[in-house]
């Protein structure tokens, strides 16, 4: 079983992620992990925090001589902003506090609508939303991207590759489908604007972000993750929790600010007749394999991959923190108050796509190892090749 967890707070000392259950012998490159972290920090519309943090992964266990050794992998990413917060958020109560001296920082008592500030403060019984927002922050996704890069390192050994692009920023939308090749090519960009494959649409997306900047507003959008080279047979129809469609949806909606997921062309399909929507089945006698008339299902039928590209879209709400603060109530006085302002992003669509790539990679790696997993890469390869022979001879 592949298991993974993250820990760490936005202004804590560091973020930490562990991933356990990978076979030994998977090549892992620190440069590749760091490149993924860099990609997460890009995109037009990011806030001042991204100028402070230049994320670098430190692999502290589970990888030796650039390959996994079968033991749990732990990755640490330091928060450079921590030095500005070390006094305000100490692990132990400072001595002077114990003597009743005043806290060095002001508590966050004006919860921001659209954040975990109020729900978390009520649930965890704090009159200071700082303890909540530190963990609820999407800074946590840095750790997910780091272990997602390790999951990708496994998948690529079996020909499975992932990439993402922006389909919409606010009302600016890409009006065509993008081919895998053009989406994959974007990973080599050294300057990520809005992560759209079409230059004219990307310019319109930028105009929407500029408008949000001008008016002190924020903007959401839609990203798409494509997983290419996925074999048929991952996931299962047999139980609700084995269905890969459900597992992917949970993983992607768990990303902060993602409020909807679409597999394939789900929204369009729902507005069409059945005859126009299903991916017809054909057989190529020469190549001896099944082919499909289209990929509107997004590579999944019955919760099982069907060998077509996996298409997973995420719908982002506009970022909740506005420069023009929204109405709120002070947690202590219960008087009306304007919500607290924390330095904030205006648009995060390309970054969210990179995070979703990581989540899709982790779920795919889990499903892959459930089916083919061995203790070493060699054993896993033998299992995989045996299955491919079965599929060929079917
Ligand atoms: C990459 C990324 C960056 C984000 N940056 C911010 C930000 O700067 N300010 C903000 O208010 N929300 C930001 N968010 C969204 C919040 O983290 C999220 O809305 C909040 O934690 C509440 O969770 P929910 O929207 O999923 O309910 C970001 C989300 C992502 C994916």
pLDDT at 369: 98
Q: Which domains does the chain have, with CATH numbers?
A: 3-264+299-393 (3.60.150.10)
Residue pLDDT, tens place only, 214-261: 999 999 999 999 999 999 999 999 999 999 999 999 999 999 999 999
Residue 119 alpha carbon to ligand 1 centre in Å: 15
Taking Cα atoms as reference points, which of 209, 180, 176, 177 lies closest to residue 192? 209
Q: pLDDT tens digits for 279-293?
A: 999 999 998 889 999
Q: Which residues line ligand 1 (CB under 6 A)?
A: 47, 114-116, 136-138, 141, 255-257, 319-321, 344-345, 348, 351-352, 355
Separation of 84 CA from ligand 1 center, angstroms?
Answer: 21
Average pLDDT (44-60) is 86
Supply the pLDDT for residue 96.
62
| Average pLDDT of every residue of the chain | 95
Portion of the chain with pLDDT greater than 90, in percent: 87
- pLDDT on residue 279: 97
The predicted structure's pLDDT at residue 16: 98
CA of 113 from ligand 1 middle (Å) equals 12
Residues 123-140: pLDDT tens digits? Answer: 999 999 999 999 999 999
CA distance 80 to 259: 30
Distance 320 CA to ligand 1 centre (A): 7
Cα 9 to middle of ligand 1, angstroms: 14
Residues 128, 132, 135: CA angle, nearest 5 degrees = 145
Task: Give the Cα-Cα-Cα angle 262, 350, 268 (nearest 5 degrees).
Answer: 25
pLDDT of residue 47 exceeding 80: yes
Contact present, 166 and 222 (Cβ < 8 Å):
yes
> Residue 156: how many CB atoms within 10 A of its CB?
16
* Spacing, Cα 21 to ligand 1 middle (Å): 30
pLDDT of residue 49: 66
Of the candidates 141, 139, 140, 201, which has an alpha carbon nearest to the alpha carbon of residue 165?
201
Q: Report the residue count for the chain.
A: 394
Pocket mutation for ligand 1, best pick of 42, 136, 137, 315 (most atoms within 8 Å of C-beta): 137
Ligand 1, atom nearest to 351 Cα: 1
Indicate the pLDDT class of residue 341, thresholds 50, 70 and 90: confident
What whole-number distance in Å separates Cα of residue 26 and Cα of residue 99? 53
Q: Residue 45: its pLDDT value, please?
A: 95
Ligand 1 pocket: which of 256, 325, 340 to mutate (most atoms within 8 A of CB) = 256
- pLDDT of residue 110 exceeding 70, the answer is yes
Confidence of residue 342 (pLDDT cuts 50, 70, 90): confident
Residue nearest to atom 23 of ligand 1 (CA): 256
Q: Sorting pLDDT into bands at 50, 70 and 90, what band is 95?
A: low
What is the spatial distance between Cα 321 and Cα 115, in angstroms, rounded to a whole number?
A: 8
Q: Is the pLDDT of residue 200 over 80?
A: yes
How far is residue 119's CA from residue 233's CA, in Å, rounded to a whole number? 40
Going by their DSSP bridges, the two strands 73-78 and 57-61 should be labelled as antiparallel
Q: Each residue of 344-369: pLDDT tens digit?
A: 899 999 999 999 999 999 999 999 99
CA-nearest residue for atom 25, ligand 1, is 257
Nearest CA-CA partner of 40 in 313, 349, 315: 349
Model confidence at 61: pLDDT above 90: yes
- Centre of ligand 1 from the C-alpha of residue 97, in Å: 32
Confidence band, pLDDT 50/70/90 cuts, at residue 48:
confident
Which atom of ligand 1 is nearest the CA belonging to 136? 21
Does the pLDDT of residue 160 top 50, yes or no?
yes
pLDDT at 63 over 60: yes
pLDDT tens digits, residue range 175-192? Answer: 999 999 999 999 999 999
Write down the pLDDT at residue 288.
87
């Amino acid at each position: 079983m592949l298991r993974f967890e993250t820990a760490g707070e936005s202004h804590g000392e560091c973020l930490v992620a562990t991933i356990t259950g990978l076979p030994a012998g998977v090549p892992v490159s620190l440069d590749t992990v760091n490149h993924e972290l860099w990609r997460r920090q890009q995109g037009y519309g990011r806030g001042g925090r991204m100028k402070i943090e230049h994320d670098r992964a430190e692999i502290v266990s589970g990888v030796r001589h650039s390959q996994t050794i079968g033991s749990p992998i732990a990755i640490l990413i330091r928060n450079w902003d921590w030095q500005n917060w070390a006094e305000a958020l100490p692990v132990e109560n400072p001595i002077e506090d114990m003597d009743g001296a005043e806290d060095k920082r002001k508590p966050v008592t004006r919860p921001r609508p659209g954040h975990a500030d109020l729900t978390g403060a009520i649930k965890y019984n704090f009159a200071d939303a700082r303890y909540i927002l530190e963990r609820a922050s999407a800074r946590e996704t840095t750790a997910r991207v780091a272990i997602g890069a390790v999951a990708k390192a496994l998948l690529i050994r079996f020909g499975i590759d992932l990439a993402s692009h922006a389909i919409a920023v606010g009302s600016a939308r890409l009006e065509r489908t993008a081919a895998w090749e053009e989406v994959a090519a974007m990973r080599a960009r050294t300057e990520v604007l809005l992560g759209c494959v079409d230059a004219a649409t990307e310019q319109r997306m930028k105009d929407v972000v500029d408008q949000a900047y001008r008016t002190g507003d924020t903007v959401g959008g839609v990203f798409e993750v494509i997983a290419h080279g996925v074999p048929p047979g991952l996931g299962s129809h047999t139980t609700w929790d084995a269905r890969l469609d459900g597992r992917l949806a949970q993983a992607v909606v768990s990303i902060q600010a993602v409020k909807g997921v679409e597999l394939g062309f789900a929204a369009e399909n729902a507005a069409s007749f059945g005859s126009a929507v299903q991916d017809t089945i054909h057989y190529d006698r020469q190549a001896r394999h099944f082919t499909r008339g289209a990929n509107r299902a997004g590579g999944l039928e019955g919760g099982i991959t069907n060998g077509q590209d996996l298409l997973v879209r995420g719908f982002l709400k506009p970022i909740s923190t506005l420069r023009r603060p929204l109405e709120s109530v002070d947690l202590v006085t219960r008087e009306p108050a304007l919500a607290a302002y924390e330095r904030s992003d205006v648009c995060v669509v390309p970054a969210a796509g990179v995070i979703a790539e990581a989540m899709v990679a982790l779920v795919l790696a889990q499903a892959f190892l459930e089916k083919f997993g061995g203790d070493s890469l060699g054993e896993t390869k033998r299992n995989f090749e045996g299955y491919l022979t079965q599929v060929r001879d079917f």
